[in-house]
């Protein structure tokens, strides 16, 4: 197996979360999805996925209490995309489907981003960067 990343996120309502991310344009790998988990494909070519796990199932992977992401932030998921337009399309779609804005868009000219809280309170950032301008 080549290197891959699987971000595991606890969710309260798997069907609702799956519908939310489908509306943002993400697909799911059914081979690794069931009533407890949905394997969301972020970038198949680079092996990047998010595992949406029902909270009770997520709890089996840790001895610690599962955080309520509506109250605390333990991590952010930052997704780099190919253009400012894709940043806006993702953020606008998320907001139209129940997400909450985190802050005003961040625009540094060579870098542009927006952030939302998903249905379970997880912080997602959508970011575009002009790498040629950032390098110097």
Q: Which helix (H) or strand (E) is 127 found in, with range?
A: strand 123-129
Please give the angle made by the CA atoms of 13, 18 and 24, to the nearest 5 degrees. Answer: 135
Q: Give the tens place of pLDDT for each residue, 26-64.
A: 999 999 999 999 999 999 998 999 999 999 999 999 999
DSSP string of 71-90, one letter each residue: T--S-EEEEE-S-HHHHHHH
Supply the pTM of this predicted model: 0.89
Residue 16 DSSP SS3:
helix
Domains detected in the chain = 1-64 (3.10.180.10), 67-136 (3.10.180.10)
- pLDDT band at 19; cut points 50, 70, 90: very high
> Who has greater pLDDT, 73 or 91?
91
Average pLDDT over residues 102-109: 95
């Amino acid at each position: 197996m080549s290197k891959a990343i699987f971000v595991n996120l606890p969710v309260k309502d798997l069907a609702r979360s799956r519908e939310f991310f489908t509306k943002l344009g993400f697909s799911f790998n059914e081979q690794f999805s069931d009533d407890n988990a949905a394997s969301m494909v972020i970038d198949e070519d680079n092996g990047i996925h998010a595992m949406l796990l029902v909270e009770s199932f997520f709890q089996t992977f840790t001895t610690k209490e599962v955080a309520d992401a509506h109250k605390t932030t333990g991590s952010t998921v930052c997704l780099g995309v190919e253009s400012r337009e894709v940043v806006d399309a993702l953020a606008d779609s998320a907001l139209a489907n129940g997400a909450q804005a985190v802050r005003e868009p961040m625009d540094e000219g060579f870098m542009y981003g927006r952030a939302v809280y998903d249905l379970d309170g997880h912080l997602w950032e959508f970011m575009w960067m002009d790498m040629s301008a950032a390098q110097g």
